[in-house]
Amino acid sequence: MATVKFKFEDKSIDPVEVKDVEAGYSILEVAEDNDVHLNHNCGGVCACSTCHVYIEVGEDELEEISDKEEDFIDRAISPRLESRLGCQSVILNDDAVIEVTIPDQKLIIGHEH
């Protein structure tokens, strides 16, 4: 089973490691299922940029980025080369190890949970 390690730009939030993640789940789904706060104003259908994350390790273990996702990443706050949308970052392999940094969610207006 895959492992997803969440780190946060907001240093007041402790890192979270989620083990036993099945391939086929997105980073957003893993976050939601494990009470990791990641905004997603469009409901996770690649129609906004609020679930923007940085994939620090394991990019090759995720589905390839689409043109549509690239367009929305360009609208995200502080995009970088390792930027992805959590809703589109689907884990491909059960033995994947993925490290994700979640940008400071206080900068995003919208869905709070």
* Annotated domain spans of the chain: 2-107
**Where is 28: in which H helix or E strand?**
helix 27-33
Give the chain's end-to-end CA distance (angstroms, integer). 27
Whether this model's pTM surpasses 0.85: yes
> 2-107, which class in CATH?
alpha beta
Cα–Cα distance measured from residue 50 to residue 73, given in angstroms and rounded to the nearest whole number: 9
pLDDT single digits (tens) 35-66 = 999 999 988 899 999 999 999 999 999 999 99
Cα–Cα distance measured from residue 24 to residue 59, given in angstroms and rounded to the nearest whole number: 15
Tokens of 98: 């993925």
